[in-house]
Structure 1
Amino acid sequence: MAAYVHGREKMGVSDWEDLPPESDRFEPAPHPRDSFCLYGQDKAERELLEAFRLGRMPQAWILGGPQGIGKATLAWRLARFIAANPDPRLPAVQRAENLAVDPKNPAVRRIAAMSFGDLALLRREWNDKTKKHSTRIMVEDVRAMLRLFEQSAGEGGWRMAIIDSADDLNVSSANALLKLIEEPPPRSLFLLVAHHPGRILPTIRSRCRLLTLPRLDDAALDAAVRAALDAAGEKFSQADLARARARADGSAREALRLVMAGEGAVDGLTQKALARLPDVDWLLVHRIGEAVAAREAESEFDAFLRGLYGWLSENLHRNKGLGPRAVAPYADAWEFMEREARDLEIYNLDKRAFAVVVFSRLAEAARAAA
């Protein structure tokens, strides 16, 4: 399935049930294109609205910040608003207080049905052979999307593209996107969702306006998680939500994962194993390895990495006043882990072995620092 194609008829499927899993959706939350509520990001929303209302919309935005705070939801919210109100001089735009639109608007309904011809989506695509998502956004998908911007806007308004996420671009696909952002056709808009904006190609960053979204406060996080779980018909307790909130670090996505995973969540197991260092509970480490290596366990592996980096960061800060000898083992372990994680992704290595090797190295670091 080409990343730029939206209509299900063009995908060769007859029913939504036939669609492959979407890499930019996190169960049980609805897809961002189906989310009509935005929690905790009023300031960022107003900035986008004002730029459009004043006719000062740049050709590209980077919506930056941690995963699970509403960046993609905001991108789709802006795309819907512009599709429904393509002229910023319209009274509806001038009196708007936010980017909310009527779900019954024809353009909005077409976006929900993935059949709005002037909106492209770039994301990691499903591979029918491997039954997995690609690890990167491929250059072929970017080139396919270029066709949209080489022709006149079929809807008579703006041509837009959502890249979710820019972190998934490889060198070739990033350079292909750069060529389009450098000299875009009139009334073109690129919305780059980025969990780590600093890792985006500098030449792309220099041609985009960066809008950094903050982590969600407790009230916004609770509201977002409740809405997602209620919509999915999932049962949860107040205690479940409180435990998830305490460990989610302002991310609704992470809080949802923790609620759904319960007490056996990977991050909880990781914290338990880290607390024993420099002693290693190898049975627990192997249990973690099995969990992060399971099919479609990307979020669990991300949680595992966050726990490891968090532990290293905490020890670096704690020991920085004790001199280089106390800090060096943790700094070396950080570099080692980054290198191993990069090789793991590039060569599709075994995550179980990664867990064992990394915990061995962290144990060495803890002993050396002591």
Structure 2
Amino acid sequence: MAVPDMTRPDAIEGWPLPEEQTEWHGDPAIERLMVEAYRGGRMHHAWMIGGPRGIGKATLAYRFARFALTYPDPARAPDAATLAVPAGSPAAAKIAARSHPNILTLSRPWDEQGKRFKASLTIDEIRRTIPFFGSTAGEAGWRIAIVDSADDMNPNAANALLKILEEPPKRSLFLVISHAPGRLLPTIRSRCRRLDLPLLTVPAIETALQAHSDAEADIRRFAAEAGQGSLRRAIGFLDEDAAAIGRAFSRVVARFPQLDGQAAHALGDLVAQRGADEAFANFVDLVFAWLNRRARALPEPDGSPIPESVAATPLATWAEVWEKLRQSSAEVEALNLDRKQFVLTTMNILARATRM
């Protein structure tokens, strides 16, 4: 099985890796906070950067690493509004090429025998910190370990990381990325400064998509809205088929509490195309994003009206529907069940929920 980049389990083909990104599309206040902490001598030895997938956590981590390695003396770092460094920064070039001796990235390793990434971030990966921190730094300044992501650690790896965080080496920085910090060991969380990132705005995602995609403006807009604050999720919607699925889904839910059978079958045909694994994933994402908005009483991203019956459906009903669809979607993928039938069943469940 081919992979875009055997060194990164989260690589997206055709898109720059976080260490190659020159821009960050998140809240500028986050960067300013890190600049002030660094310059003011309040730099914690470990930061836990948390938030959902695809909102720029790894990009921010490498962005800070570039800043710290470009300005190794905090007292001489610029009083800047962002973590941007000069375009010709040697540290930036080495980080982009993954050749900087003072950075160690820890992630799920590639299994050459199985030709895939291992299911967890192993203790052997964490133990790579021993020679990394135990030897003389390749260049003056900090040595920085980026854990991407801590959620992938198995128990042994988590305990090994905890031991290092308890007794951090001198001039060391840990940037621990987590998609769900609350699930990590409390002892690991307690030894890190917590930095939870907000979701990206639709305009920010559109800007990022425009920089790296030649998709039409309306497709970019649809993808940005469907991404629900995640650039990674938005990229998955960045094609005509995904946009067509989104429009077809909207046509069906707009008729609730009635189920438009013809529109539902048309949606099912789009999702169940031969070999269209991505189409199925996009549909599942759309459904759960829609349910999330219903549970939180949020408007539709494109401003389309919400049927009265949908708005009046109790939260408890949506919670039941969420759990039922979570189980059934997992079964469809695990057992390779009929995807069109799943679409029809799903839309029927949603419509029926709005009649209760």
TM-score, normalised by the number of residues in structure 1? 0.74
C-alpha distance 306-196 of structure 1, shift in aligned 2 (>3 A): farther
Task: Report deviation, 1:236.
Answer: 1.9
- Say whether 1:186 aligns with 2:170: yes
Name the amino acid aligned to 2:55: I
Task: Report deviation, 1:183.
Answer: 1.6
- Name the structure 1 match of 2:53: 67
C-alpha distance 285-197 of structure 1, shift in aligned 2 (>3 A): farther
Task: Report deviation, 1:216.
Answer: 2.4
- Say whether 1:55 aligns with 2:34: no
Matched residue pairs, number? 336
- Name the structure 2 match of 1:310: 289
- Name the structure 2 match of 1:256: 235
Distance 1:359 1:312 in 2: 16
Which of 223, 228, 231 aligns to 1:244? It is 223
Distance 1:228 1:197 in 2: 30
Counterpart secondary structure, 2:235: helix
Distance 1:170 1:293 in 2: 32
- Name the structure 2 match of 1:7: none
Distance 2:112 2:92 in 1: 30
1:220-268 CA distance string (max 9 Å, x none): 2222111122xxxxx3222222222232223222333222x32346963
- Say whether 1:331 aligns with 2:309: no
CA contact (8 A) 2:248 2:266 kept: no
Q: Which moved more, 1:276-285 or 1:202-211?
A: 276-285
TM-score, normalised by the number of residues in structure 2? 0.76
1:310-365 CA distance string (max 9 Å, x none): 34445556799989xx6656434544566778x88xxxx72634967798688568
Counting only pairs closer than 5 Å after superposition, residues 1-370 of structure 1 correspond to structure 2 as: 20=6, 22-90=8-76, 93-229=77-213, 235-259=214-238, 261-264=239-242, 268=246, 271=249, 275=253, 288=271, 294=277, 301=281, 303-313=282-292, 316=295, 330-335=318-323, 350=334, 352-353=336-337, 367=352, 370=356
Task: Report deviation, 1:75.
Answer: 0.7
CA contact (8 A) 1:266 1:300 kept: no
Name the amino acid aligned to 1:186: K
Distance 2:321 2:37 in 1: 44
The structure where helix makes up a greater share of residues is: 1
- Name the structure 1 match of 2:300: none
Higher RCO, 1 or 2 (CA under 8 Å, sep at least 6)? 1
List gaps (5 residues or longer) in structure 1: 1-16, 230-234
CA contact (8 A) 2:46 2:176 kept: yes
Q: Which moved more, 1:137-146 or 1:180-189?
A: 137-146
Counterpart secondary structure, 2:144: strand
C-alpha distance 236-321 of structure 1, shift in aligned 2 (>3 A): closer
Q: Which moved more, 1:191-200 or 1:71-80?
A: 191-200
What is the aligned-residue identity percentage?
Answer: 35
C-alpha distance 245-293 of structure 1, shift in aligned 2 (>3 A): closer
